[in-house]
Chain A
């Protein structure tokens, strides 16, 4: 094939040249021989042959060209030429390559991270077929599934290949090292086949192991295997003890499928007959894989009709309930993560645009110096397409080198992101451990590099060709300014840069402000001075409320006795934590109206909680030591609760009962009203609150808080020891300050704000370079004009003012455009982000001033240079 031959020829240029030489030489020899045959002497024969042959060099070149006419060869030549050109102007090259590297690096890194976390967090085949299915109550919204309902779905639905069920359980792992608190998922065997996951090691459990007595096998999630067993490959067959029961490890799941991310271990779910018959406890999570060809709306409508059949058959438990299915991907991602990533990707793409504008700007500047070179090449016979291709090659080369640098930068950027993500947060993100620079990101970076090169190269390249040949050669100087168009184009690039930078900086500042507001939401409680940790009392050991209550009394007493501790408390949820259980409740002597549920956040706190957190009791009394487990169970409610359920009445003395109508909870007498306190951070809803006393209604899981005036973290070890002195087997999760806990909760926002802030800084820096570049060139071009002005009597201040006025005009237009863009974008973003206001005058104002100052500062140097022009020198140099 001739194409292949031509390509091969490219790599054997030396051989080819030698062969061509030999061939042409043999021609001359043959001609000489023939001439000698005609009787000419050797020298004359040879001269005659040479004459006849013409210019051997030209012929050789043409022959060579015929052997390698492929444009690839010319591309190599262009590339070598481009390389030489770039080396010749190192200042330009370094700036351009650096900015392209940053632009592409940031884009690649963000895309890699987004790809791993949001687009493909799990390596689950045909993931769009996998749904999570929840029950949905018309009043309270989505809820987990009751097992009897699930069994009916399995029997009645036709939309799914398979449905699986699971439920999360907190367990204590006692056989490996220190007692540890782990999260287990009790799952039906087909949970794995719904995900179509294959084990990394060993096997997964099967259907007949999901029966009582045979269910003592365990499958490890990858992260847990790594953390607790150091990725031990000989783990299979190992026995571990969970809540005093022995399980055998039979398999490990792969790194690429860690769902749910918080699960440490999977155990077979062996439901009891009672559980299977229960329709009112909504405790289970259901995943299903759609049959091929079935769409989400079809499945959804089938499930709805099943739900209404069930509501008719079992009105007491199922009325008001329907079914809601969501793609698994949406559930994993939640509402915020994809949003952050989209914002970030958008911001980073802005940076790339700024980079392109910047490179284009630099190219313009360089174009001036190269006009003579281009004119010369045109005069020597280069066609315009040839020169255009040469210039574009140069830009593509820039782009490619930039892409290489970008990969390096992106790798660095990703390492930093990974390092700064708190471990306990990363554990909850399914795709987090899969983040790496991937092939798709590399492909993207290459495409970006080429596009960046073409976009930023095309306009200046065309501009460079628009020059007038003879004028250029005649003048041979930079004094001929293509006054209108080129300057106009260049101004557009500078303005675009400023606008994009302004929009980014404003956006970043708005986000940062929202983030800071969120971070300080709990400041009234001094969260830096509060240490918190969670405890889950093992159900086997602490099997009665009496035992649990006794534990709380004793543990709180021990903690309060520690030196430096001002308060030690328990609560199910801290203010602004988004934790807590919103439960249904009944009011005594008040029948529930169907479809009008009564719900309140049910918090179990100790007697001292209100005084420790400065929550005043505004009516009635606080909890007291006399509220023992034998005494009448009491409750304290929030003003919102009163307004909602006892409007205009005194709630004190009324009795309520947590749970559904068939609840076995005791009646609670309302004894007080505590000041309104928010327990939500992201959740925009505000809930009514019912507090109960931990001595009367203890909860097996709780959050401890220890308040101190000193360094709270110094109390972590004493607290651990104090609790271990009561029960050494009780595991404690990581102990951290409340402030730290809030940071972990807000980490997504902090990350997004931080990254966008970084993008904004880069954009600002590039814009400053851009303004500097434009002004420096303007001054350079106008040296003679300035010289004339000075010679005619203009003062230096006039020149300074002239240059600065021009810079201000550019900056002004850029600022206006940027502010408009920022306002427009911020309105879109503010709807989505808590705490962000689109019309924050302080942010807009201060940033306008800052950027104006930066712009003026970066045009100051060129302006000063202009004002120092020596008129004689300027006029003579032309």
Chain B
């Protein structure tokens, strides 16, 4: 479970972020996760970009180059219909995971 679940969690965070914010570039995603989690979670770029590209290959997200507010070119990602479905599934299975882990923690 370990590896894929952790990766799944990152996917979930990214998908959720994009669902919330519409189109966002990689750096924006990092910032959003950091802020939204009150600095509890910090996403490593080394993991984020491979994950973004993997999700793009899976057609969960779409990418397009655009200009930032400061007039820099950046690659923006946004959710596709497939990604929305994937997000829903990921949320459900994450809930299950959390519930399961909680139950075990309480029991122990």
Closest residue on chain A to residue B70 by CB atoms: A33
A63 close to B27 (CB less than 8 A): no
Q: Mark B51-93, 1 if CB is under 8 A from A, else 0.
A: 1111011110000000010101111000000000000000000
Of all chain A residues, which has the CB nearest B53? A66
- State how many angstroms separate the Cβ of A600 from the closest Cβ of chain B: 86
Judge whether A384 is part of the interface by a CB distance below 8 angstroms: no
Could you tell me the distance between the alpha carbons of A222 and B28 in the complex, rounded to whole angstroms? 78
Which residues of B26-69 are within 8 A (CB) of A? 26-28, 31, 44-46, 49-54, 56-59, 68
Q: Whole-angstrom distance between the alpha carbons of A19 and B58 in the complex?
A: 18
Q: Is the CB of A33 within 8 A of B72?
A: yes
Are the CB atoms of B25 and A30 closer together than 8 Å?
yes
Given contacts A2-B57, A6-B57, contact A63 B26 (CB under 8 A): no
Name the CB-closest residue of B to A52. Answer: B45
Determine which of B25, B45, B56, B59 lies in contact with A53 in the assembled complex, contact meaning CB atoms within 8 Å. Answer: B45
Neighbouring A residues of B50 by C-beta, 8 Å:
59, 62-63, 65-66
Indicate whether A876 reaches chain B with its CB closer than 8 angstroms: no
Q: What's the nearest-Cβ distance from chain A to residue B43, in Å?
A: 11
A69 to B50, CA, bound (A): 11
Find residues 484-541 in chain A having any chain B CB closer than 8 Å to their own CB: none
Within 8 A of B (CB), among A18-72: 19-20, 22-24, 26-27, 29-31, 33-34, 52-55, 58-59, 62-63, 65-67, 69
Q: Does A5 contact B (CB under 8 A)?
A: yes
List B contacts of A5 (CB < 8 A): 57
- B46-A59 in contact (CB<8A): yes
Minimal Cβ-Cβ distance residue in B for A26: B74
Name the one of A22, A66, A67 contacting B73, with C-beta atoms under 8 angstroms: A22
Chain B contacts for A69, CB-based, 8 A: 54, 57
- CB pair A2–B73 under 8 Å, yes or no, is no
Query: Are B75's CB and A26's CB within 8 A?
Result: yes
Q: Which residues of B contact A20 (CB under 8 A)?
A: 49, 53
Assuming the contacts A2-B59, A26-B74, A30-B25, asked whether A59 and B45 have C-beta atoms less than 8 A apart, the reply is: yes
Asked if B54 and A66 make an inter-chain contact with CB atoms under 8 angstroms apart, the answer reads yes
Please tell me if the beta carbons of B26 and A23 are within 8 angstroms of each other in the complex.
yes
Give the docked Cα–Cα distance between A58 and B50 (Å). Answer: 10
Q: Which residues of B have CB within 8 Å of A52?
A: 45
Tell me the minimal C-beta distance from A312 to chain B in angstroms: 81
**A1 nearest CB neighbor, chain B only:** B59
Given contacts A2-B57, A2-B58, A23-B75, contact A62 B46 (CB under 8 A): yes
List of B residues within 8 angstroms of A22 by Cβ: 73, 75
A interface bracket (residues with beta carbon within 8 Å of B): 20 to 34
Closest to A16 in B: B53
A748 to B75, CA, bound (A): 73
Our pick among B44, B49, B54, B68 for the contact of A30 (Cβ within 8 Å) is: B68
Could you say which residues of chain B place their CB within 8 Å of the CB of A62? Answer: 46, 49-50
Residues of A close to B44: CB separation below 8 A: 54
Q: What B residues does A26 contact at CB under 8 A?
A: 25, 27, 72-75
Would A67 and B53 be within 8 Å (CB), given that A23-B26, A30-B27 are in contact?
yes
If A26-B72, A30-B72 touch, whether A54 touches B45 (CB-CB below 8 Å) is yes
Contacts of B72 in A (CB 8 A): 26, 29-30, 33
Chain B residues near A24: list those with CB within 8 A.
45, 49
Smallest beta-carbon distance B35→chain A, Å: 12
A30 contacts B74, C-beta separation under 8 Å: yes
Residue of B nearest to A31 (CB): B27
- Determine the chain A residues whose CB is within 8 A of the CB of B58 once the complex forms: 2
Residues 99-123 of chain A: 1 if any B CB is under 8 Å from the residue's CB, otherwise 0?
Answer: 0000000000000000000000000
Whether B46 contacts A54 by the Cβ 8 Å rule is yes
Most buried by A among B26, B53, B54, B56: B53
The CA-CA distance from A630 to B26 in the complex, in Å, is 118
Question: Which chain B positions have C-beta within 8 A of A53?
Answer: 45-46
Is B57's CB under 8 angstroms from A67's CB? yes
Task: Write out the residue numbers on chain A whose beta carbons fall within 8 Å of the beta carbon of B74.
Answer: 23, 26-27, 30
A55 to B44, CA, bound (A): 11
The answer to whether B68 touches A27, judged by C-beta atoms less than 8 angstroms apart, is: no
Most chain B beta-carbon contacts within 10 A, residue among A2, A22, A30, A52: A30
Give, as a whole number of angstroms, the nearest-CB distance from A690 to chain B.
89
Pick the contact of A27: B45, B51, B56 (CB < 8 A).
B45
Shortest CB distance B50–A (Å) = 4
* Chain A hits for B68, CB < 8 A: 30
Residues of the B chain whose Cβ atoms lie less than 8 Å from the Cβ of A33: 70, 72
Which B residues touch A54, using CB under 8 A? 44-46
B28, B45, B70 interface centre (most CB from chain A within 10 Å): B45
The interface residues of chain B lying within 8 Å CB-to-CB of A58 are: 46
Enumerate chain B residues within 8 angstroms of A30, measured Cβ to Cβ. Answer: 25, 27-28, 68, 72, 74
Cα A67 to Cα B53 in complex, Å, equals 6
The distance from the CB of B108 to the nearest CB of chain A, in whole angstroms, is 35
Using a CB-CB cutoff of 8 Å, which residues 76-102 of chain A contact chain B? none
User: What is the bound-complex CA distance between A55 and B46, given in angstroms?
Assistant: 8
In the complex, how many angstroms separate the beta carbon of A25 from the nearest chain B beta carbon? 10
CB distance from B84 to the nearest CB of A (A): 17
Q: A58 to B75: give the CA distance in the assembly, Å.
A: 20
CA A332 – CA B28 in complex, angstroms?
A: 79
Q: With a CB–CB cut-off of 8 A, which chain B residues contact A27?
A: 25-27, 45, 49, 74
**Whole-angstrom distance from the CB of A361 to the nearest CB of chain B?**
42
Q: How far is the CB of B60 from chain A (nearest CB, A)?
A: 10
Q: How far is the CB of B23 from chain A (nearest CB, A)?
A: 14
Give the complex CA separation of A40 and B44 in angstroms.
22
Assembled-state Cα–Cα distance A65/B74 (Å):
21
Report the Cα distance A58→B26, complex, angstroms.
17
Rounded to whole angstroms, the CA-CA distance of A14 and B50 in the bound complex is 18
Show 30 residue pairs from A and B whose CB-CB distance is below 8 angstroms, ordered by the A residue.
A2-B58, A22-B73, A22-B75, A23-B26, A23-B49, A26-B25, A26-B27, A26-B75, A27-B26, A27-B45, A27-B49, A30-B68, A30-B72, A30-B74, A31-B27, A52-B45, A53-B45, A53-B46, A54-B46, A58-B46, A59-B45, A62-B49, A63-B49, A63-B50, A63-B52, A66-B50, A66-B51, A66-B53, A67-B56, A69-B54
Binding site for B on A (CB under 8 A): 2, 5-6, 19-20, 22-24, 26-27, 29-31, 33-34, 52-55, 58-59, 62-63, 65-67, 69
**Chain B interface residues (CB < 8 Å from chain A):** 25-28, 31, 44-46, 49-54, 56-59, 68, 70, 72-75
* Closest CB pairs A-B (n = 10): A66-B53, A30-B27, A62-B50, A66-B54, A66-B50, A26-B74, A23-B75, A63-B49, A59-B46, A54-B46
